[in-house]
């Protein structure tokens, strides 16, 4: 019986413990290697490449965060820029009131944006489809209006942010590997690599857990999932909280990256569009789809910025999004999986 069952077509072999953990180990190894390269190659690489890498990593975090709710659960969130801006302005407020290390500012941003995500989810997740998407867009507009009229954080004119010195402990740690230490931009890239690694690991863990299974059931047919006993509201609240917290953490280092923040930048259209387009191009409902999409679209935008103009970025994103939605609706992930099935 066991031999027949194992050889029967359409049945999947049980996955070993190593098979389940292989992706997680690969994420850790790649992230660690990228952090090491950032630190060791500092004197030999132009600062522009670090700035471009930071932008791509930022969109990996945002795309992964969006995918937890939009890809796994099927709820399209148009309010990404709002949660990102919460992280930005949390850093600005703390920097004005009581300056603390960036790591703790990121934690504060995660808590703030996560609580806003939880509250927003509780109020809006009873809506479905386009009504939920409109509600999240309205949230971003409301937050932007509040910031524009809040003079403490610069209001509509914006605010300049001075980069604080890297702490002595961190400088001593990095100095152990690089005699002259690292620049602040390198430090931001290392921090964003760690955050991207954390976000991707969190998405991978969600995908492989009962949360991911429940969200997939909700995405396929929410009514049937609820009838089967899936706690839909609780799962959606978990997803909105995680998604909001990761978006807030992505926004926390941003003021030190650009050194000047205004509402048009923090709530920028590019942030909202890219965080949705990258998972769709890479492939939703899987942890590595947003990573692939962010690398492809992010790299293309950086190349266009230095060769043609940054004004062409959103145009290229729009074109690629239309192409993938019509020709390959499952994204790069779907293309790869179809290719693998064809080889078998």
DSSP states along 169-208 = HHHHHHHHHSTT---HHHHHHHHHHHHHHHHHHHHHHHHH
Yes or no: say if 65 and 250 are a contact pair by the CB < 8 Å rule. yes
- The predicted pLDDT at position 4 comes to 42
Q: What is the pTM of this model?
A: 0.90
Q: Which residues in the chain show pLDDT less than 70?
A: 1-20, 168-180, 344
What is the spatial distance between Cα 298 and Cα 317, in angstroms, rounded to a whole number? 9
- The predicted pLDDT at position 10 comes to 40
Residue 77 DSSP symbol: -
What is the spatial distance between Cα 10 and Cα 306, in angstroms, rounded to a whole number? 49
pLDDT in tens, 126-182: 787 788 889 999 999 999 999 999 999 999 999 999 888 887 666 666 666 666 678
DSSP states along 256-320 = HHHSEE-HHHHT-HHHHHHHHHHHHHH-SSSTHHHHHHHHHHHHHHHHHHHHT-GGGHHHHHHHH
180-191 core/surface letters (b: 16 or more CB in 10 A; e: else): ebbeebbbbbbb
What is the spatial distance between Cα 278 and Cα 296, in angstroms, rounded to a whole number? 8
Yes or no: say if 85 and 266 are a contact pair by the CB < 8 Å rule. yes
- The predicted pLDDT at position 9 comes to 39
CB atoms within 10 A of CB 264: 12
Residue 155 DSSP symbol: G
């Amino acid at each position: 019986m066991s031999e027949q069952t194992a050889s029967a077509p359409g049945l999947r072999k049980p996955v070993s413990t190593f098979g389940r953990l292989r992706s997680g180990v690969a994420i850790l190894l790649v992230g660690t290697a990228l952090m090491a390269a950032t630190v060791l190659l500092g004197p030999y690489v132009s600062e522009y490449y670090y700035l471009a890498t930071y932008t791509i990593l930022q969109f990996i975090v945002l795309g992964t965060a969006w995918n937890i709710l939009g890809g796994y659960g099927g709820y399209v969130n148009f309010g990404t820029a709002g949660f990102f801006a919460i992280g930005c302005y949390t850093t600005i407020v703390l920097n004005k009131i009581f300056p603390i290390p960036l790591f703790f500012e990121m934690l504060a941003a995660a808590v703030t944006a996560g609580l806003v995500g939880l509250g927003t989810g509780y109020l809006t997740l009873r809506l479905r489809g386009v009504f939920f998407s409109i509600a999240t867009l309205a949230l971003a507009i409301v937050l932007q209006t509040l910031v524009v009229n809040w003079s403490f954080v610069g209001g509509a004119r914006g605010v300049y942010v001075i980069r604080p010195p890297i702490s002595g402990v961190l400088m001593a740690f990095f100095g152990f590997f690089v005699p002259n230490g690292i620049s602040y931009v390198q430090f931001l890239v290392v921090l964003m690599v760690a955050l991207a690694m954390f976000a991707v690991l969190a998405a991978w863990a969600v995908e492989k857990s009962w949360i991911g299974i429940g969200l997939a059931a909700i995405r396929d047919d929410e009514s049937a999932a609820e009838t089967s006993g899936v706690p839909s509201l609780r799962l959606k609240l978990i997803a909105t909280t995680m998604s909001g917290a990761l978006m807030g953490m992505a926004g926390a280092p941003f003021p030190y990256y650009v050194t000047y923040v205004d509402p048009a930048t923090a709530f920028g259209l590019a942030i909202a569009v890219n965080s949705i387009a990258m998972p769709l191009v890479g492939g939703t409902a899987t942890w590595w789809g947003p990573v692939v999409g962010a690398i492809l679209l992010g790299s293309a935008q950086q190349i266009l910025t230095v060769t043609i103009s940054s004004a062409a970025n959103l145009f290229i994103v729009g074109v690629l999004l239309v192409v993938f939605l019509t020709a390959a609706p499952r994204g790069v992930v779907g293309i790869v999986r179809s290719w693998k099935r064809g080889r078998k």
